[in-house]
Amino acid sequence: MTLRIALCQCGVEWEQPARNLARLEPQVAAAEADVVLLPELFATGFTLDPAGVAEGPGGPVAEALRRWAVQYDKAVAGSVAVVEDGCFYNRMYFVKPSGECAWYDKRHLFAPGGEARNYTPGNCRTVVEYKGFRFLLLVCYDLRFPVWSRCRCDYDAILCCASWPAPRREVWRTLLRARAIENQCYVAGVNRVGDDPSAHYAGDSALVDFKGRTLAEAGAGEQILTGALDDGALEAFREKFPAWRDADDFWIQI
């Protein structure tokens, strides 16, 4: 079985959710894929002060994702600033064409940039099953933490949405491949492009296979990058080279 995935590498208008949604919808509709992955905080930009733009669970941006998934018959994923019970979360949604929605709250907040001042970290991993594949959801800075994302034979691919600044672009490129190799999984990482008040973003979105090989990689401009995941090839490699059987046991204290 194969599954096509589209990485929507786009710019983001600062704190303009309605305009960003209007611009992104045609791209989602046109993507020839089973899953469309959008960048971190694609509707607002990576704002450190979410009070003015955060929405409640199931708010307008989440509802747009649900409508797109149902109307265009493809799963859609990306992160949104959400307020719930007085706390702000950088929440990644994964919405299926059925309208069913799963979410993951970013665990590792980018403290060096100030994200941890106003957002609350999540406390659990999320794995979503869709069309025979199991996806671990990660958001940007999470990619730096291998213990959190360690595969325990519970997923086949990592979906990572990001707002990763250009000065650290080689770190982004390296970590995508490192997570793929050590977990013997596919990794799909989408990053935004353009500028916001504090950073410039270079893109470098990529789809990487379980051997760390680049299946598709974007440059610096806006584009939709597509590629295919093959569960048969993944299973055959894991059986032929079963490094996962020698992984160390551990547990995570939260």
| Beta-carbon-side half-sphere exposure of residue 89 (alpha carbons within 13 Å) | 20
Catalytic residue, chosen from 74, 96, 115, 140, is: 140
Distance CA 179, CA 185 (A): 8
How many Å separate Cα 42 from the centre of its chain? Answer: 11
Whether residue 74 lies in the annotated active site = no
Q: In degrees to the nearest 10, what's the CA dihedral of 15, 173, 2, 6? A: 30
Q: In degrees to the nearest 10, what's the CA dihedral of 1, 139, 180, 247? A: -110
Q: List Cβ neighbours of 212 (8 Å cut-off, separation of 6 or more).
A: 177, 178, 180, 181
Whether residue 106 lies in the annotated active site = yes
Catalytic residue, chosen from 106, 115, 151, 185, is: 106
Whether residue 40 lies in the annotated active site = yes
Catalytic residue, chosen from 8, 10, 15, 40, is: 40
Supply the residues annotated as catalytic. 40, 106, 140
